[in-house]
Structure 1
Amino acid sequence: MRTPHDVVIIGSGFGGIGMAIRLRQAGIRDVVILEKAADLGGTWRDNTYPGAACDVPSHLYSFSFEPKTDWTRRFSPQREILDYLRACARKYEVLPLIRFGAEVTEARFDEDAGLWRLATTGGELAARVVVSACGQLNRPVPPSIPGRGTFTGTSFHTARWDHGAELDGRRVAVIGTGASAIQIVPEIAGRASRLTVFQRSAPYVIDKPDREYRPWEKALLGTVPGLHALSRARIYALYESRALGFIKYPRLMDLMARRFRDHLGEQVADPALRETLVPGYPMGCKRILISGDYYAALGRPGVELVTDPIERVTPAGLRTRDGREHRADVIVYATGFAASDFLAPMKVAGRGGRDLNEEWRDGARAHLGITVSGFPNLFLLYGPYTNLGHNSIIYMLESQIRYVLGCVRAMRAHGLEWIDVRPDVQDAFTREMRTRMRSTVWESGCASWYQNAEGTVVNNWPGFTFAYRRATRRPDPRHFVARRARGPRALTVR
């Protein structure tokens, strides 16, 4: 507590590792990363379930400053992405900065000292700047189904996969049909003696154009100058074009809906099953999923799709509202995350002791999804209004990292102790987001994890990613109030 650190980063996923790398490259050496787990990697460390993989092509789902030309597949599996992050941490000497087993329980801004006081499970420390890189998909949410504690078999959430659980020849129940479930189901459909999939609402699933890269392709990517960059740019442009359907012209989603219907028709021969797999909401309102084998897995012998609501968990399995008892040896909860809570469950207190949970009681707000009024020198990566439905979140993270770095550089250059975004600037941004959101497909009449408890979409960016990059290209001094440093409190360069 005696010597405050220049920058403390919370989380060691893509955001945390990327932020640390860029800070070190800018000459800011006193950086600490606090990680609650025993390893880095964020969501790619936590989600080790069978079939876990990315739904953004490999060449785009990576740092722009650290291209990887030897990805094994067009869509990288979990282990390969985690290995990539570890390699980045080693190459850029970030590993020594990480304090593992240090979960932040409380962050309090000391206005007199101009410092953040952090309480963690590994001790206390102080920081001039705090960057939260916790992400949106880090807190698993088990379903609130009565009787969950009575089940006598094995049960777990997909993000806490029990690799000791025996699935071969067992009766397995999967609750949920989201992004994790459609990857898990094909992997275990041929292993379980019986697989029961419980669907609350059908997702839109389109074909996944995945395949292994051939040796000659990887050789060319690694040797021909500019070829990897061209591949990345091509993928970016293709995916970015889809934003038109999400944010401005929802009728364009009909083109993608046609692709969905073709894929469903090719994979599912049973008309009755096919009917239950057609969503009852506009395409894109919820996350669009990609899989080449999910629908085929549902048609396998021994696999059943159940659409009746679950009434309760019983000692022997699950009972649905129609009175049926679905016996199971293993229950897998593919029920998602608390995506709109952002910094929860840590307690965060800003200027004048204001409580962040109270400030956000009617929805999370942060200017550009990065800075929160009343909470000086606190920066969010992957905060509200920065998630995407059509492109790579790494592109958004790099935009945010550049913005935060610009703020830190300005503080250092002008001898500022702290900066705080003005409330009117934050309010104007929030109003703009909510106004623009009304024309998007995400507000076309469905419930999704993009929304908070009040049903307001607070996660997604209602625009093009290149527009977000332009908006975050540099911090505008007019957007902030500041206090000059008193004594040796400015950020140091070592």
Structure 2
Amino acid sequence: MTQHVDIAIVGAGFGGLGAAIRLSKAGFGDLLVFDDGDDVGGTWRDNTYPGCACDVPSHLYSFSFASNPDWSNTFSGQAEIWAYLRGCVERFGLRERIRTGHRVTDAAWDGTRWVITTSRGEYTARVLVAAAGPLSDPAIPDIPGIGDFEGTVFHSARWRHDHDLSGKRVAVIGTGASAIQFVPRIQPEVAKLSLFQRTPAWIMPRLTRRISRVERLIYRHVPGAQRLARLGIYSVRDAMGVGFLHPRVNRLASRLSLRTLRRQVRDPQLRDKITPRYAMGCKRVLISNDYWPTLTKPNVDVVTSGIARITASGLITADGMEHPADTIILGTGFHVTDSPIMRHIRGADGRALSEAWTPSMYAYRGTTVPGFPNLFFLLGPNTGLGHTSVVLMIESQLNLVVKALKHMRARGLTAIEPTPAAQRDWSATIAKKMRGTVWETGCSSWYLDATGRNTTIWPGFATSFRWRTRHFRAADYVAPSAVKEHADAL
């Protein structure tokens, strides 16, 4: 039997849980959160690889309306962040509103509402909040012969804890944010580690430390202390965005990174292999204290020749070299600009969001899309940040969502969507702000879509995005005609 709910939220990570909390507090409590996992947490539930941790300070990588005085470290690990999200569920009484094990396979606008098909039944909803997140679907490289490998293959986001790496010959494909965390952890136990690098990363020191018991007591018992600490971190981290908007500013940080590299890697040949030769920030800047030193260990080999094919017993690179392996670990990132959820959401004309977003993604203020009534997309196009916490962006978007729903309720509107003109103006604003930034310096990264356009990162400060989402501009939205006709008939 089809069940109806006012608001359906897809995803139970930071975005989905944040939406459920904020909407409930704003008087929109008739909602359900759907997630295909067996618990809440999203990225922080799924990524359990050794060393998994956040590269944003703990006080900032949490909701402003749900502070946690008990963070143990300035940069929290996966288990602690996951526990924080589960704690938010209990703290705000969300448990009965969450439907785990419900994979959303289709969400279609039928002219009056969203019809949502899940792996455990059908639902209808007036409003759909898409909060699956950009880092939820692992990207598996299409390498010839990968299916012929007779050893064990897994993605870092689906870590095989039942697979013992001790004494194994391990091939790691990818040198991004996940690999630089798990490579130092597995290196001591494996017999041989072959690291296949396509492009070296810019790496900055990880300024991490344990938060003392005294600090935690202050945060718990002194009103405003943790909020003040968060404000200080926010100000510093947001100011770091200057280097992304004006690449020359990042030259100082680049010199610091290279000085660290020279100190940690004495071998000139190895150092040359892992030295980045593009503007810092064009790709994701990583933080680590132990990744480069790990590459100097005698059982580690950094391979820069491209992978031609995989055989039953290893990998063959473009230079003809064979690299035997017992295990292949894919540190190859996620579907960001082509997330599978896009194929499952169909708008007023029946087109999937993936079709509407071909060749490039776009969304008004990164949140709403013409032709998709009552759809609110969290961490949508151009809402990512290269220098600070995306939780800040989620909260800015939620401010907009709440104001939109209040506007609809006050005026008796059944549905709204942004006008094409508003979308065009917003896209033009994004394009203008993108000019001269580090993302237009010519390097290739997962920030860019197939056309070479940056559809992922917000070309500005978190503060500027918050400023642009502070008001709901009614003139930029319209009630779809089909919905108007339905309302008139009623």
TM-score (norm 2): 0.96
- Summarize the alignment of residues 401-416 of structure 1 with structure 2, pairs less than 5 Å apart: 401-416=398-413
Q: Read off the aligned partner of 2:425 and give its amino acid letter.
A: A
* One of 187, 190, 210 as aligned partner of 1:189: 187
Runs of 5+ unmatched residues, structure 1: none
> 1:149 is matched with which residue?
147
What's the CA shift for 1:255?
1.2
- Summarize the alignment of residues 107-122 of structure 1 with structure 2, pairs less than 5 Å apart: 107-111=107-111, 114-122=112-120
Q: Residue 64 of structure 2 aligns to a residue in which SS?
A: coil
Is the 8 Å Cα contact of residues 342 and 352 (structure 2) preserved in structure 1?
Answer: no
Is the 8 Å Cα contact of residues 354 and 374 (structure 1) preserved in structure 2?
Answer: no
Q: CA 1:193/1:488 → structure 2, altered by over 3 Å: closer, same or farther?
A: farther
Which has the higher mean CA deviation after the structures are superposed, 164-173 or 83-92?
164-173
Q: Read off the aligned partner of 1:287 and give its amino acid letter.
A: R
Instruction: State how far apart, in whole Å, the 1-side matches of 2:294 and 2:263 are.
Output: 13
Is the 8 Å Cα contact of residues 132 and 341 (structure 2) preserved in structure 1?
Answer: no
Q: Does 1:224 align with 2:199?
A: no
> 1:321 is matched with which residue?
318
Instruction: State how far apart, in whole Å, the 2-side matches of 1:234 and 1:489 are.
Output: 55
Instruction: State how far apart, in whole Å, the 2-side matches of 1:139 and 1:416 are.
Output: 35
What's the CA shift for 1:226?
2.0
Q: CA 1:406/1:236 → structure 2, altered by over 3 Å: closer, same or farther?
A: same
- Summarize the alignment of residues 252-401 of structure 1 with structure 2, pairs less than 5 Å apart: 252-342=249-339, 344=341, 346-401=343-398
Q: Does 1:94 align with 2:94?
A: yes
Q: Kindly provide the CA deviation profile for residues 349-383 of structure 1, in whole angstroms up to 9, marking residues without a partner as x.
A: 22232332221112011000000001110000000
> 2:58 is matched with which residue?
58
Instruction: State how far apart, in whole Å, the 2-side matches of 1:435 and 1:224 are.
Output: 44
- Over the aligned positions, Cα root-mean-square deviation in angstroms equals 1.7
What's the CA shift for 1:474?
2.2
Is the 8 Å Cα contact of residues 415 and 485 (structure 1) preserved in structure 2?
Answer: no
Which has the higher mean CA deviation after the structures are superposed, 48-57 or 277-286?
277-286
Q: Read off the aligned partner of 1:84 and give its amino acid letter.
A: Y
Is the 8 Å Cα contact of residues 2 and 122 (structure 2) preserved in structure 1?
Answer: no
Runs of 5+ unmatched residues, structure 2: none
Is the 8 Å Cα contact of residues 134 and 343 (structure 1) preserved in structure 2?
Answer: no
Q: Residue 217 of structure 2 aligns to a residue in which SS?
A: helix
> 1:105 is matched with which residue?
105
Instruction: State how far apart, in whole Å, the 2-side matches of 1:311 and 1:14 are.
Output: 38
Q: Read off the aligned partner of 1:104 and give its amino acid letter.
A: V
Q: CA 1:402/1:270 → structure 2, altered by over 3 Å: closer, same or farther?
A: same
Q: Residue 376 of structure 2 aligns to a residue in which SS?
A: strand
What's the CA shift for 1:301?
1.9
Q: Does 1:18 align with 2:18?
A: yes
Q: Kindly provide the CA deviation profile for residues 384-426 of structure 1, in whole angstroms up to 9, marking residues without a partner as x.
A: 0100001100011000011101111111121111011101101
Q: Does 1:431 align with 2:423?
A: no
* One of 199, 224, 232 as aligned partner of 1:234: 232
What's the CA shift for 1:34?
0.8
Q: Read off the aligned partner of 1:110 and give its amino acid letter.
A: D
Is the 8 Å Cα contact of residues 108 and 116 (structure 1) preserved in structure 2?
Answer: yes
Q: Read off the aligned partner of 2:106 and give its amino acid letter.
A: E
Is the 8 Å Cα contact of residues 282 and 445 (structure 2) preserved in structure 1?
Answer: yes
- Summarize the alignment of residues 482-493 of structure 1 with structure 2, pairs less than 5 Å apart: 482=479
What's the CA shift for 1:446?
0.7
Q: CA 1:170/1:474 → structure 2, altered by over 3 Å: closer, same or farther?
A: same
Q: Read off the aligned partner of 2:299 and give its amino acid letter.
A: G
Is the 8 Å Cα contact of residues 73 and 211 (structure 2) preserved in structure 1?
Answer: yes
Q: Residue 349 of structure 2 aligns to a residue in which SS?
A: helix
Q: Read off the aligned partner of 1:430 and give its amino acid letter.
A: S
Instruction: State how far apart, in whole Å, the 1-side matches of 2:168 and 2:148 are.
Output: 19
Q: Does 1:175 align with 2:173?
A: yes
Instruction: State how far apart, in whole Å, the 2-side matches of 1:24 and 1:224 are.
Output: 28
Q: Kindly provide the CA deviation profile for residues 251-308 of structure 1, in whole angstroms up to 9, marking residues without a partner as x.
A: 0010110111121112111111111111121111000000010001111121111111
Is the 8 Å Cα contact of residues 417 and 486 (structure 1) preserved in structure 2?
Answer: no
Number of residue pairs matched?
487
Q: Does 1:452 align with 2:449?
A: yes
Is the 8 Å Cα contact of residues 107 and 346 (structure 1) preserved in structure 2?
Answer: no
Instruction: State how far apart, in whole Å, the 1-side matches of 2:312 and 2:288 are.
Output: 33
Q: CA 1:484/1:4 → structure 2, altered by over 3 Å: closer, same or farther?
A: farther
Is the 8 Å Cα contact of residues 194 and 302 (structure 1) preserved in structure 2?
Answer: yes
Instruction: State how far apart, in whole Å, the 2-side matches of 1:447 and 1:326 are.
Output: 26
Is the 8 Å Cα contact of residues 105 and 346 (structure 1) preserved in structure 2?
Answer: no
Instruction: State how far apart, in whole Å, the 2-side matches of 1:96 and 1:262 are.
Output: 53
Q: Residue 394 of structure 2 aligns to a residue in which SS?
A: helix
Instruction: State how far apart, in whole Å, the 2-side matches of 1:360 and 1:367 are.
Output: 13
Q: Does 1:250 align with 2:274?
A: no
Q: Does 1:466 align with 2:463?
A: yes
Instruction: State how far apart, in whole Å, the 1-side matches of 2:262 and 2:177 are.
Output: 20
Instruction: State how far apart, in whole Å, the 1-side matches of 2:485 and 2:60 are.
Output: 40
* One of 130, 133, 137 as aligned partner of 1:132: 130
* One of 435, 440, 443 as aligned partner of 2:440: 443
Q: CA 1:272/1:479 → structure 2, altered by over 3 Å: closer, same or farther?
A: same
Is the 8 Å Cα contact of residues 318 and 325 (structure 1) preserved in structure 2?
Answer: yes
Q: Residue 4 of structure 1 aligns to a residue in which SS?
A: strand
Q: Read off the aligned partner of 1:293 and give its amino acid letter.
A: D
Instruction: State how far apart, in whole Å, the 2-side matches of 1:342 and 1:478 are.
Output: 30
Q: Kindly provide the CA deviation profile for residues 423-468 of structure 1, in whole angstroms up to 9, marking residues without a partner as x.
A: 1101111122122212210111111010111211100101111111
Instruction: State how far apart, in whole Å, the 1-side matches of 2:359 and 2:377 are.
Output: 18
Q: Read off the aligned partner of 2:74 and give its amino acid letter.
A: R
Q: Read off the aligned partner of 2:11 and give its amino acid letter.
A: G
> 2:45 is matched with which residue?
45
Instruction: State how far apart, in whole Å, the 1-side matches of 2:345 and 2:14 are.
Output: 23
Is the 8 Å Cα contact of residues 342 and 353 (structure 2) preserved in structure 1?
Answer: no
Instruction: State how far apart, in whole Å, the 2-side matches of 1:14 and 1:489 are.
Output: 39
Instruction: State how far apart, in whole Å, the 1-side matches of 2:13 and 2:485 are.
Output: 32
Q: Percent identity?
A: 46
Q: Read off the aligned partner of 1:147 and give its amino acid letter.
A: G
